[in-house]
Chain A
Amino acid sequence: MNREGTHPGTGAILGLPESAGDRRLARYLQVARANPLGVFGGVLILVLIVVGILAPAIAPYPIDKFAGVPIKAPSAAHLFGTDKFGRDIFSRVVHGARISLEVGFFSVILGTLVGMIIGTISGYAGGLVDAVIQRSVDTAIAFPQLILLLIVIRVLGPSIVNVILVIAIGIVPGVARVVRGAVLSEARNAYVEAARATGASGARIVGRHLVPNVLPLTIVIATTLLGTAILAEASLSFLGLGITPPNPSWGADISAARNSFPINTWSALFPGIAISLTVLGFNLLGDALRDILDPRLRGSR
């Protein structure tokens, strides 16, 4: 330990004078150590992302190849066993990761962005604009969520893009509401008044003051929403209204497994585990981020 009481940075270990980068690294490590679950969650997500990106390389078989004897338990040739067509479950789960991530990330990014914009406009503009937007948001939130998804996906038709759109639409109202609340409380702060007094334009205030302060909250929400989005996609696909075959979707695969007898336990088990671990990762990460980025949100650790 050096004089400041912090761990020596890599530079110090190597005998070089300590740099800002080292101190940042040390801080990150400290944060990491204080949030082991969050780190675990982050690792889970990282593994998932890697698997998703490298899916074609990792998966030993193509997703639609009838590679083995149907409904076989896990073996060396088929890590997770085979489904009713003899397709390798492991390969399908791996490719499913890619699709889940795609849907999850795009829908959340889209939904959060739009929600943030709407919420910021609503909170900052106030008055009639705010009232109208608020009421619309309330309406959307009052709509039973799954039903809303079902109706809209029926309107749009089955495809990955539409699933992303539908889930994004489901995300927007909640984000808008939260962001609006945050913007309202931020806007009351003195520095905003000051900025306005000095003649700063609305856009400038929003851009330089409000958004950056609202950002941490949004990131926290977005992280948890990633888990929710993936669950939503799985549910939709389970009901047959989301990702259509032959694309491998975890939810759809569980549904297919359910419909064969003897129930293909493996085909039902592994995608479910995959979903659970994924959502778990995002939840853990989201929790940790919330604790780190915005102490006010903490549920008192």
Chain B
Amino acid sequence: MASGELLGVLRRRASRRAAMRGAALSSAGLAFAIACGSSNNNKKAATTATSAAPAPSGGTPAPGGGSAAASPAAGSFKPAPGGKQGGEYRTGFTGPWAGVDPHNSVYGGSGLVPIIYNYLVRTSTIAPDIGILPELATAWESAPDNLSVTFKLRPNAMIAENKQNVPVRPMDAEDAKASFERVADPKAASNGYSWIHDWVDHFEAVDKTTFKVVTKAPYAWVLNNVGNNLYSAVVPKEWLLSPDLKKTAVGSGPFMLQSLEEGGKAIVVRNHTYWEPGLPLLNQITGNSFADQATYRTAFTSKQIDVYGATDVEEAKAIAGSLKGSQRYEDPGFGFNSFWMNVTQKPWDDPRIRKAVRRAINPDEYIQLIAKGLGKQIGPLSYAMKGYTLPDDELKKLMPFSIQDAKQILQAAGQPNLTFKFQHPTSSNVADYVNIFVRQLAAAGITAQPEPQDAGTWVAGYFTNKLSASLSLNQEYANPDFALHWFTTGGITGNSHYDTGFSDPEVDAAVKKAAGTIDETARKAAYQDAQRLIISKDPPFWNFYGSYVNIVVGGNVVNYPHGIGSLGYYYTKNISLAS
């Protein structure tokens, strides 16, 4: 099978750990923004605009100064050619850096890793029109039996000059093998562990420029996972053994890490030996870690940084309006906030109760009040996974808002005055949801009692499945396979942590089948069927709505990569400054 078949719509897994860690910090979200400013709502990467997403403004830039800007075709971004060399681009985010482990960072570090290291390929599920971009791999091909993918590597990706005694040589297949084998090691605790563990048979360095991934069964998401910026960086094999792997970075990417101060700033500078001529354009990128959103915002409005991830569209509009020349983007994203039920505890073992509670929820109210109108009701898969999500009208039919229904179901189930406790971490973002949630349920006669918990307690309870029900933070999955693992036996990790306890062999089979469906059209259909099946089981986990990412970029920035999610990191090398 030609590589073209796999090109179309391969997704990348995103990390839920991002959200979990965000949960662990009661004051900070986990947004960071090196290439992509992202918001405070614990969204990992700014995953962005796509073609048909009927977002209010379809991901086109909303200019701040009044002059109309040309709107690119929604869903694909192409940097305009040219651009001045030089300059320092300043970004910021709230939260800690927490190191730069190439396979294991989800805080600020995850914004540095994708521009310091290279990947075999780059791809984002949100930008199917862009497809798969070659990076270390110049070509790839699936075997006819679909059990392996072979990558041809470029010979001229030089490791950057460094003081860590890593030899300056071209990256090769051995590096790729060593990198993926590290991810496969459970001790590395990388998010990439699960796909490798579930599907990969072995990795092979056929020769210096040929690398092979062999799977146990046909798997549709190989390229997507291999291109995931969270856990698929290709790292020089000597560097993998260094004790400083988390503290600093040695890669072959367009930028090099010059310095990193926890709680302060990170500086990356141009890699002179990067193989693409003329790139990167910027001399330096400075990332600032702010303690909270207000300081982050003030830094942007006083022009101390060049890009800002707003908490909602109103804020973004207000800021863009007050800053002449700035650009505002409403980029679709994978993020959502969710409600989670432990089906091994009462009352959640009764699917009717689960159904009733869901019926009492009105997603529109959250969309209006929290996202200020910029959000979409979604099923188990985000609207941003085009082609994989259920159509809007079907969704509304399958998961309607009806207090009547809720009351009737509760009556029939013998619990007309249902009362339950639920836990949540104390962060202001979650509190907004809690407010509305309690009120909505009360309208159906349900008493939901919030039990706020310190983030540490909450995470621990979550990990050990001790929580009875939980209103969690934003989560994000760019890969349908990963996203649907909430509903499979063993839960999202496969090892029964963060596990709702839900187990249904039909669902397990449907999810597995979909992941193994190589043909794209059939795969999309399989995922839709899987979702219908899951919804019919009154799932123990659903989201309030799918959110968007609100970015405001200063007028001085040229070629800010918007609308393409974490693919944006790939285009960081094309960013330049107007002056």
Could you list which residues of chain A lie within 8 angstroms of chain B, going by C-beta atoms? Answer: 64, 66, 85, 154, 157-159, 239-241, 244-246, 255-256, 258-263
Q: Closest chain B residue to A63 by CB distance?
A: B435
Question: Does B427 sit within 8 A of A, measured CB to CB?
Answer: yes
Q: Closest chain A residue to B369 by CB distance?
A: A85
Contacts of A239 in B (CB 8 A): 27
Contact A244 B426 (CB under 8 A): yes
Question: Does B419 sit within 8 A of A, measured CB to CB?
Answer: no
Tell me which of A240, A246, A256, A262 contacts B318 (CB under 8 A): A262
Q: Closest chain B residue to A85 by CB distance?
A: B369
Contact A240 B427 (CB under 8 A): yes
From A85, A159, A241, A245, name the one whose CB has the most chain B CB atoms within 10 angstroms: A245
Tell me which of A85, A157, A158, A261 contacts B315 (CB under 8 A): A261
From B26, B40, B322, name the one whose CB has the most chain A CB atoms within 10 angstroms: B26
Q: Closest chain B residue to A257 by CB distance?
A: B294
Q: Closest chain A residue to B294 by CB distance?
A: A258
Q: How far is the CB of A62 from chain B (nearest CB, A)?
A: 10
Q: How far is the CB of B459 from chain A (nearest CB, A)?
A: 13
Given A157-B452, A245-B434, A245-B435, 15 more A-B residue pairs with CB atoms under 8 Å apart are A64-B439, A66-B369, A154-B456, A157-B453, A157-B454, A240-B27, A240-B427, A241-B26, A241-B426, A245-B431, A245-B432, A258-B292, A261-B297, A261-B315, A261-B318
Contacts of B297 in A (CB 8 A): 261
Assembly CA distance A154 to B301 (angstroms):
34
Question: Does B106 sit within 8 A of A, measured CB to CB?
Answer: no
Q: Closest chain B residue to A154 by CB distance?
A: B454
Please tell me the number of chain B residues within 8 Å of chain A, measured between CB atoms: 29
Q: How far is the CB of A41 from chain B (nearest CB, A)?
A: 33
Assembly CA distance A159 to B452 (angstroms):
8
Contact A158 B454 (CB under 8 A): yes
Q: Closest chain B residue to A71 by CB distance?
A: B314
Contacts of A258 in B (CB 8 A): 292, 294
Contact B426 A240 (CB under 8 A): yes
The 8 closest A-B pairs by CB, nearest first: A245-B431, A244-B452, A258-B294, A261-B315, A259-B293, A246-B435, A262-B318, A158-B452
Contacts of B26 in A (CB 8 A): 240-241
Assembly CA distance A59 to B495 (angstroms):
51
Tell me which of B292, B319, B369 contacts A261 (CB under 8 A): B319
The secondary-structure label for the interface of chain A is: loop
- B 195-216 to A, binary, CB cutoff 8 A, 1 in contact else 0: 0000000000000000000000
Contacts of A245 in B (CB 8 A): 428, 431-432, 434-435
Question: Does B310 sit within 8 A of A, measured CB to CB?
Answer: yes
Known contacts being A259-B293, A261-B297, is A157 close to B431, with CB within 8 Å?
Answer: no
Known contacts being A245-B428, A246-B434, A262-B318, is A157 close to B457, with CB within 8 Å?
Answer: yes
Contact A240 B453 (CB under 8 A): no
- B 423-458 to A, binary, CB cutoff 8 A, 1 in contact else 0: 000111001101100110000000000001110110
Contacts of B322 in A (CB 8 A): 262
Assembly CA distance A259 to B431 (angstroms):
14
Assembly CA distance A258 to B290 (angstroms):
14
Assembly CA distance A241 to B25 (angstroms):
11
Question: Does B311 sit within 8 A of A, measured CB to CB?
Answer: yes
From B310, B434, B452, B453, name the one whose CB has the most chain A CB atoms within 10 angstroms: B452
Assembly CA distance A159 to B451 (angstroms):
9
Q: How far is the CB of A141 from chain B (nearest CB, A)?
A: 26
Tell me which of A64, A158, A256, A259 contacts B453 (CB under 8 A): A158
Q: Closest chain B residue to A242 by CB distance?
A: B426
Assembly CA distance A246 to B448 (angstroms):
13
Assembly CA distance A45 to B381 (angstroms):
55
Instruction: Tell me the B442-501 residues at the A interface (CB within 8 Å).
Output: 452-454, 456-457
Contacts of B315 in A (CB 8 A): 260-262
Q: Closest chain B residue to A246 by CB distance?
A: B435
Assembly CA distance A240 to B301 (angstroms):
25
Instruction: Tell me the B26-53 residues at the A interface (CB within 8 Å).
Output: 26-27, 40
Assembly CA distance A64 to B437 (angstroms):
12
What are 24 A-B residue pairs whose CB atoms fall within 8 Å in the complex? A66-B369, A154-B454, A157-B453, A157-B457, A158-B426, A158-B452, A159-B452, A239-B27, A240-B26, A240-B426, A240-B427, A240-B428, A241-B26, A241-B426, A246-B434, A255-B428, A256-B428, A258-B294, A259-B294, A260-B315, A261-B318, A262-B315, A262-B318, A262-B322
Contacts of B301 in A (CB 8 A): 261
Q: How far is the CB of A69 from chain B (nearest CB, A)?
A: 12
Contacts of B457 in A (CB 8 A): 157
Q: Closest chain B residue to A66 by CB distance?
A: B369
Q: How far is the CB of B78 from chain A (nearest CB, A)?
A: 31
Instruction: Tell me the B271-325 residues at the A interface (CB within 8 Å).
Output: 292-294, 297, 301, 310-311, 315, 318-319, 322
Contacts of B427 in A (CB 8 A): 240
Contacts of B435 in A (CB 8 A): 64, 85, 245-246
Known contacts being A154-B454, A260-B315, is A246 close to B27, with CB within 8 Å?
Answer: no
Q: Closest chain B residue to A252 by CB distance?
A: B428
Contacts of A240 in B (CB 8 A): 26-27, 426-428
Known contacts being A239-B27, A241-B26, is A259 close to B310, with CB within 8 Å?
Answer: no
Q: Closest chain B residue to A157 by CB distance?
A: B454
Contact B431 A246 (CB under 8 A): yes
Q: How far is the CB of A234 from chain B (nearest CB, A)?
A: 16
Q: Closest chain A residue to B321 by CB distance?
A: A262
Contacts of B311 in A (CB 8 A): 259-260
Q: How far is the CB of B235 from chain A (nearest CB, A)?
A: 36
Contacts of B432 in A (CB 8 A): 85, 245
Contacts of A157 in B (CB 8 A): 452-454, 457
Contacts of B318 in A (CB 8 A): 261-262
Assembly CA distance A246 to B471 (angstroms):
14
Q: How far is the CB of A295 from chain B (nearest CB, A)?
A: 47
Q: How far is the CB of B316 from chain A (nearest CB, A)?
A: 9
Assembly CA distance A85 to B310 (angstroms):
17
Assembly CA distance A154 to B460 (angstroms):
14
